[in-house]
Amino acid sequence: MKRVSLLKVKIVVLACFLILALGLGPSAKASQFGKATFTYGVLWGSLEFPDEAHPEENVTCNLTIGAYDNVIYNFTLEISSLVGQSWVALGKEQRTMNSLAENTNFTSSLVFKLPQNTSGKLRYFIEASTDRSFGNMTFYATNVQAITYEELTDAYNTLLSNYTTLQANYTELWTNYTVLEHALNTLQADYDAKIAAYNLLNSSYESLASSYESLAENYTSLKSNYDSLHDQSAYLEEKYDATTGELTIVRYLMYALGLTTAILAVTTVYFRKKAPYILLRKETTSKTDSE
């Protein structure tokens, strides 16, 4: 967008420069040829010359001289150009003691080449005399420049056409830029929202990662304790199984001992109840033997 704006400024500046050059620089008529006329008594004439020319270009001037009455005249046409700071003669048409009949005229052409460093307008000097009149005139015409008024006009029209095209392109680009800028702003807002959400999630992730590391350490510690307790449980279970087997044997032995004790107690009671009879019988038997 900055490049488009800069190009627009350059075009405007160049257009202004061309307008100033056309307005302030050496100017010429819009027509291709100019014409100067003169009358000295019965002698009249005209000189046609180009309005514009380039350096090193051939220039053609058409001179017409006529008379209203029979006349003998002298005529001089001298054309000069400004080269640097000096005027340099380019062409000269001179007629001495020539005669013209009443209401007659003739036309001749004067061709000359412009020097390389010629600039500004050419100087035309005309002098004529007859036996009844005399006169001269100096005027400046034929603007000599590297770029003529017509060429500047063509260049300006081309530049204006290009400017119009660029202006249309600029308007289209500006419209596209506005649309893209709106889309960019929307995407930027969405991006900012996603960045905020990402930062929040990242903070949560870091918190969870820290908690995970702590839990992982606790898990490792608990796993170690679990493995140790598992080993102790297995050992105790093995010992329990062994102790349970021994306890079963002890129970059986206690049961047998209890049973034996009970039998012994019953037997003892029984024999205690039978003891007097046995003793008495024993005594009776002893007495019988003694007799």
Q: What is the pLDDT of residues 179-230, one digit of tens each?
A: 999 999 999 999 999 999 999 999 999 999 998 988 998 899 899 989 988 8
Segments of the chain with pLDDT less than 70: 1-31, 148, 274-291
Q: At what angle do helices 149-290 and 2-24 cross, to 10 degrees?
A: 170
The overall longest dimension of the chain from CA atoms, in Å, is 240
Residues 6+ apart with CB under 8 A from 100: 43, 65, 66, 67, 70, 71, 73, 106
* pLDDT for residue 17: 52
Residue at 254: amino acid letter? M
Gap between the Cα atoms of 73 and 45, Å rounded: 12
Map out the domains of the chain with their CATH numbers: 27-144 (2.60.40.10)
* pLDDT for residue 50: 94
Q: How many residues does the chain have?
A: 291
